[in-house]
Amino acid sequence: MSLFRCPICAAPLTRAGRAYTCPNRHSYDVAKEGYVHLLPANQKHSANPGDDKAMIAARTAFLDGGYYASLREAICAAVSAHGGHNLKILDVGCGEGYYTQGFSQLPGAEIAGVDLSKAGLKKAARRVKEAEFAVASVYHLPVADQAVDVVVDCFAPLALEEYRRVLRPGGLFVYVVPAPQHLMEMKAVLYDTPYPNPEENVEYEGFTYVDIVPVTTTFALEGQAPIQALFGMTPYAWKTPKAGVERLGQLEKLTVTADFRVHVFRREGCNNPSCVL
């Protein structure tokens, strides 16, 4: 069985060899890297939606340096502490699967990831062979109602209605966001007036707060390669004035603070699928 459902008729999908099929004979080929395309044409708003090759390459280069390993460990620890074992975990906006790889180490976990970016999924499917990956939007998840125990959203768009729909009651929603001091030293190089991110603890309807885990780490980036890799995976890469980009390009070393919050929520409601609570 698969955690995915047919995007046309919503029946369960089964993977057999190089294709996923549903009982109504809709069939989806598995790409050579191992992911499947489940995004209907009417949900595709550009030829190559999601993060492009350059952003994915920057993120892969940086994350593989291990600078955010403590964040991955903290997310996995929060999932285990509040969710237990043998979990069905859906990584929404999974990118190239760095965090997905962490979940695959949890005992008995069954993992799926979705993202709009084919470039991301090519990497993810190679990186985490034991998980399944689909090109799909977080706003139209190809996943049945109440089918998963955990939804993890790391720096991806927030699609609360869909997360509520696919999570079983009592399941966990883990939302990872940048915190006030995140990359402040880099922002201070790029901008004349760097602002901290807002600290936001929002009560989302249908979810109860379980925990907020702060993760703060400081590391030195030696040389331009890791500095540019980090810059390239941030939104600053497309909104920084030229002077700031030039200042960054002259640095030989940059010590940076990464500051995150792992927000853990439990989905409220009863087990009856028709119940709207």
Ligand X SMILES: C[S@@+](CC[C@H](N)C(=O)[O-])C[C@H]1O[C@@H](n2cnc3c(N)ncnc32)[C@H](O)[C@@H]1O
CA-based nearest residue to 30, from 129, 111, 101: 129
Contacting ligand X within 79-108 (CB under 6 A): 93-95, 98-99
Q: Is 116 in the site for ligand X (CB under 6 A)?
A: yes
Interface region with ligand X, contact rule CB under 6 A, candidates 153-161, 195-203, 224-232, 237-245:
153-161
Question: Residue 50 binds which entry of ligand X, Zn ion, none, with Cβ cut-offs from 5 to 8 Å by kind?
Answer: ligand X
Residues in the interface with ligand X (CB under 6 A) total 20
Q: Is 137 in the site for ligand X (CB under 6 A)?
A: yes
Token pair 């603070």 is found at: 257
Binding site for Zn ion (CB under 5 A): 6, 8-9, 11, 22, 24, 26
Residues 6+ apart with CB under 8 A from 43: 137, 139, 140
Interface region with ligand X, contact rule CB under 6 A, candidates 77-85, 101-109, 150-158, 218-226:
150-158
CA-based nearest residue to 37, from 167, 172, 136, 176: 136
CA-based nearest residue to 84, from 154, 149, 166: 149
Identify any residues that bridge with 253 across adjacent strands, giving them in sequence order: 222
What separation in angstroms does the CA of 260 have from each of 7, 68, 229, 263?
34, 10, 19, 10
State the nearest-atom distance from the C-beta of 120 to ligand X, in Å.
5
Contacting ligand X within 44-63 (CB under 6 A): 50-51, 59
Alpha carbons 275 and 168: distance in angstroms, whole number:
12
Q: Is 180 in the site for ligand X (CB under 6 A)?
A: no
Q: By the criterion CB under 6 A, which residues form the site for ligand X?
A: 50-51, 59, 93-95, 98-99, 114-117, 120, 137-139, 154-157
